[in-house]
Amino acid sequence: MKKNVLIIGAGGVAQVVAHKCAQNNDILGDLHIASRTVAKCEAIIASVHEKGAMKVPGPFQAHGLDATDTGAVAALIGATRAQIVINVGSPFVNMSVLDACITTGAAYMDTAIHEDPAKICEAPPWYANYEWKKRDACKAAGVTAILGVGFDPGVVNAYARLAEDRFIDKITSIDIVDINAGSHGRWFSTNFDPEINFREFTGTVYSWQKGAWQENTMFEVGREWDLPVVGKQKSYMTGHDEVHSLANRYPDADVRFWMGFGDHYINVFTVLKNLGLLSEQPVKTAEGQEVIPLKVVKAVLPDPASLAPDYTGKTCIGTLVKGEKDGKPAEVFVYNIADHKDAFNEVGSQGISYTAGVPPVAAAILIAQGTWDAGRMVNVEDLDPAPFLDLLNGMGLPTRVKDAAGDRDMTF
Amino acid sequence: MKKNVLIIGAGGVAQVVAHKCAQNNDILGDLHIASRTVAKCEAIIASVHEKGAMKVPGPFQAHGLDATDTGAVAALIGATRAQIVINVGSPFVNMSVLDACITTGAAYMDTAIHEDPAKICEAPPWYANYEWKKRDACKAAGVTAILGVGFDPGVVNAYARLAEDRFIDKITSIDIVDINAGSHGRWFSTNFDPEINFREFTGTVYSWQKGAWQENTMFEVGREWDLPVVGKQKSYMTGHDEVHSLANRYPDADVRFWMGFGDHYINVFTVLKNLGLLSEQPVKTAEGQEVIPLKVVKAVLPDPASLAPDYTGKTCIGTLVKGEKDGKPAEVFVYNIADHKDAFNEVGSQGISYTAGVPPVAAAILIAQGTWDAGRMVNVEDLDPAPFLDLLNGMGLPTRVKDAAGDRDMTF
């Protein structure tokens, strides 16, 4: 039984995590949020109080923190007596925060894979480059570390495991589909940190097919889906974290990730990429200033958090699992529909942040209650998905299932 | 009678100026070239010697110079005993170089209007914001200053004056058309300094129509032309220097500038502009670095000078003048066709640089010979165009005329 939560990061996802922790602070205990810019933490706490989100009276404190400094993170964990750390800061800080958790014994969670700022799309499986190297250290220290427990990766991994547990005996393919059918009304914006968003798409697209890593380029492989609620949607095979862990658990299945993109996004991306403006490598201006182009692109684009008030429409994110059940071909699509406006009304964030920020709080509750306090490093598909998806049903991210038997709510 | 030329700038246009000065150094005397980066000057001089371009033996020296420093420019004019200054540096240095010429008595020429780095497309007429404020000072000092004596502005102004002198009694419209039908083979590139190129198109498009300044936005007004050699070409009404002086001489005529753009250029420009990446105002990155986005775009784009070896195809730039002749409707298109490959073979530059760089050398010859040594500040249309166009006929930029009488070479 662990309690007291330290949230690291103060972006759009952190805002959702903060609100959801507040709504469950009877279970989670004291709440803390830390970021390089303490004012952003204070603004999030203010929005929590504005919404009256705290379930019971209790502390919610803001802290300034350089999360790349393991010693500083460990000291803050000690000072706050936090036993659960939800890392939703930049993916550049995963390893320093994880190391601090191993040192202090706090449970660790994140929602995206660690990245080295100077590298793009490293060799697969990505988790083996950083996080999984700490598996033994976590086990030795009895530290619970749940990797990638946002929506995708995270809930979609649980969907795959649910299919394994209940719907498909022999899995031959896992296709994760992420469609944002919402509209933010801006000429162009990414839905989360542009730097991280574009970094996902500038390198090799890795998929696991025919028992091996396959390489493609972005926008090379397209597929149209006809999905519940959002209807027909164009998508492209994309590199994504969960492919790199699911391929480990399901080596005999093809594992692919598909993200929806409109022609406008692709055009803007293509122009920026072909001009070299998405490069993470510095260029020198005529005046001699060294600049990383991608960071300038990020600086001119809208802050994704600013999109929330005007965002309308829905997202559909799910996992299509095919294979055999009782010797016969079978398939199931496990999915969630989220609404941007509903998310804003509840927690002041748009739907993309909402789907990423709610799941780690559900996982934190399961750690606090002991259900998911594994005492080792895991990916989400390594854990029993039922209590997690059951909690999410009541926290704003209900699970639905579509298969030969129909399209229905999934209860546990 | 003036001699000894100081070229300021070391870009693609300066390279052409250097070669053409060398080819005429029997008339022009000692040659000097100065730029912030002396190595670029030395490379240009080396290319002149490689081509054996010096007509007679004589000095051609390179100098390091901060051309924004009037005192330094004046000192270099003194040290080199240059009586003719051809300013083909950045348009940000026009006024400091002009001031140095007024101080020293040297003749001044440039090929583009002065710009303040922090401002885009100021109020019309543009020349009145900077250059024309020095008219009295030039007159008092007896200094010849020929503004905008590249191709456009420059030769196209002389074409308008030629129409006035020989073809049209009463001018009702002047349309300058600039079509580059060449191909550089890159995914995207501007044909001259991207910073200056984009700055032309991000502000208000000014034209002089119905006796007043009219305002449009870029790509708002399009027109297709059917031109000699290059055929049917799409163009858009664009803000450009020469509109601002020709409207002064021909207030009863509509004066417009049309530049050819392909759909690909427009798409790239639109993406960059709408994202804010063409802004000349600094933005701050998440890391706190202050950066001017336009300078980063310039840094990632190809150096226009690097396009020359692979550039193929032709340019067509001309002036369509309409009005009356002997009481009857009349029109004439005065134009030049230039070839990118021919330009590269002769002077190592592409056609856009060639058309801009040859005319100021013709003007320098006319100043050296006394023909155009006006002893005051002028725009090109203020001078007799015949000796200028006659010289250009022999220097690689022949004038052609198309009217009711046919399409023919124009000799003087």
A266 touches chain B (CB under 8 A): no
Residue A121 pLDDT grade (very low, low, confident, very high; cuts 50, 70, 90): low
Mean predicted confidence (pLDDT) in A223-233: 96
pLDDT at residue B345, rounded to an integer: 95
B274 touches chain A (CB under 8 A): yes
In a mutagenesis test of the B interface, which of A202, A297, A300, A303 is the best target, namely the one with the most B β-carbons within 10 Å?
A300
A40 touches chain B (CB under 8 A): no
Residue A342 sits in the same domain as residue A372: no
pLDDT at residue B198, rounded to an integer: 83
In a mutagenesis test of the A interface, which of B296, B297, B301 is the best target, namely the one with the most A β-carbons within 10 Å?
B296
Query: Do A279 and B285 count as a contact with CB atoms less than 8 A apart?
Result: no
Residue B178 sits in the same domain as residue B310: yes
DSSP secondary structure, A191-244, as one string: SS-HHHHHHHHHS-EEEEETTEEEEE-TTSSEEEEEETTTEEEEEEE---HHHH
Is it the case that residue A106 has pLDDT exceeding 60? yes
Which of B277, B279, B296 shows the shortest C-beta gap to A283? Answer: B296
Query: Do A289 and B293 count as a contact with CB atoms less than 8 A apart?
Result: no
Residues of chain A with C-beta less than 8 angstroms from the C-beta of B187? 274-275
DSSP at B24: T
Query: Do B291 and A287 count as a contact with CB atoms less than 8 A apart?
Result: no
Mean predicted confidence (pLDDT) in A106-128: 89
Residue B177 sits in the same domain as residue B113: no
Nearest CA in chain B to A292: B296
Cross-strand pairs, A75: none
pLDDT at residue A191, rounded to an integer: 83
Residue B411 lies in a domain: no
Residues B320 and B223: beta-carbon distance below 8 Å = no
- Cα within 13 Å of Cα(B269), Cβ side: 19
Residue B232 sits in the same domain as residue B131: no
Identify the CA nearest to A292 among candidates B301, B276, B285, B303.
B285
In a mutagenesis test of the A interface, which of B66, B195, B300 is the best target, namely the one with the most A β-carbons within 10 Å?
B300
Residue B135 sits in the same domain as residue B264: no
| Minimal C-alpha gap between A255 and chain B (Å) | 34
Residue A15 sits in the same domain as residue A77: yes
Residue B78 lies in a domain: yes
Residue A339 sits in the same domain as residue A251: yes
Give the list of residues 6+ apart from residue B342 with CB closer than 8 angstroms, or none.
Answer: B351, B396
Query: What is the count of structural domains for chain A?
Result: 2
Residues of chain A with C-beta less than 8 angstroms from the C-beta of B266? none
How far, in Å, are A23, A141, A155, A165 from residue A383 at the CA level?
24, 19, 11, 11
Residue A132 sits in the same domain as residue A110: yes
What's the pLDDT tens digit per position in A336-368? 999 999 999 999 999 999 999 999 999 999 999
Which of B284, B299, B300 shows the shortest C-beta gap to A299? Answer: B284
A57 touches chain B (CB under 8 A): no
Residue B186 lies in a domain: yes
Residue B184 lies in a domain: yes
B299 touches chain A (CB under 8 A): yes
Residue B410 lies in a domain: no
Task: Enter the pTM of the model.
Answer: 0.75
Residue B278 lies in a domain: yes
Residues of chain A with C-beta less than 8 angstroms from the C-beta of B287? 295
pLDDT above 70 covers a percentage of chain A that reads: 100
Nearest CA in chain A to B266: A271
A274 touches chain B (CB under 8 A): yes
Which of B268, B295, B299 shows the shortest C-beta gap to A271? Answer: B268
pLDDT at residue A117, rounded to an integer: 79
Residues A94-109, buried b or exposed e (16+ Cβ, 10 A)? bbbbbbbbbbbebbbb
Residues of chain A with C-beta less than 8 angstroms from the C-beta of B296? 277, 283, 285, 291, 293, 296
CATH number of domain containing B255? 3.30.360.10
Residues A11 and A88: beta-carbon distance below 8 Å = yes
Nearest CA in chain B to A285: B299
Residues of chain B with C-beta less than 8 angstroms from the C-beta of A284? 299
B161: exposed, middle or buried (Cβ count in 10 Å: 0-12, 13-18, 19+): buried
B186 touches chain A (CB under 8 A): no
Dist CA A49 CA A53 (whole Å) = 6
pLDDT at residue A202, rounded to an integer: 77
| Minimal C-alpha gap between B181 and chain A (Å) | 22
In a mutagenesis test of the A interface, which of B90, B291, B294 is the best target, namely the one with the most A β-carbons within 10 Å?
B291
Give the list of residues 6+ apart from residue A355 with CB closer than 8 angstroms, or none.
Answer: A150, A151, A152, A155, A315, A317, A336, A338, A397
Query: Do A271 and B274 count as a contact with CB atoms less than 8 A apart?
Result: no
What's the pLDDT tens digit per position in A275-296? 999 998 999 999 999 999 999 9
Query: Do A271 and B276 count as a contact with CB atoms less than 8 A apart?
Result: no
> Which residue type does A156 have?
V
| Minimal C-alpha gap between A154 and chain B (Å) | 27
Residue B206 sits in the same domain as residue B138: no
Identify the CA nearest to B369 among candidates B27, B126, B108, B45.
B27
**How far is CA B41 from its chain centroid?**
20
Residues A218 and A238: beta-carbon distance below 8 Å = yes
Residue A112 sits in the same domain as residue A64: yes
Secondary structure of residue A259 in the 3-state scheme: strand
In a mutagenesis test of the B interface, which of A190, A263, A275 is the best target, namely the one with the most B β-carbons within 10 Å?
A275
Q: Indicate the average pLDDT of chain A.
A: 95
| Minimal C-alpha gap between A304 and chain B (Å) | 14
Mean predicted confidence (pLDDT) in A101-106: 98
Nearest CA in chain A to B279: A300
Nearest CA in chain B to A189: B275
- This complex has an ipTM of 0.73
Residue B321 sits in the same domain as residue B217: yes
In terms of DSSP bridges, do strands B170-180 and B314-325 run parallel, antiparallel, or are they unpaired? antiparallel
Q: Tell me which residue range forms the domain holding A365.
A: 5-150+351-393
Is it the case that residue A67 has pLDDT exceeding 90? yes
A281 touches chain B (CB under 8 A): no
Give the residues of chain B that fall short of pLDDT 70.
120-121
Which of A188, A285, A299 shows the shortest C-beta gap to B298? Answer: A285
CATH number of domain containing B95? 3.40.50.720
pLDDT at residue A78, rounded to an integer: 98
Identify the CA nearest to B318 among candidates B301, B298, B338, B334.
B334
| Minimal C-alpha gap between B309 and chain A (Å) | 21
Of B347, B366, B385, the residue at which a domain comes to its end is: B347
| Minimal C-alpha gap between B303 and chain A (Å) | 11
Residues of chain A with C-beta less than 8 angstroms from the C-beta of B188? 271, 274-275
Is it the case that residue A1 has pLDDT exceeding 80? no
pLDDT at residue B262, rounded to an integer: 87
pLDDT at residue A120, rounded to an integer: 67
Residue B96 sits in the same domain as residue B161: no
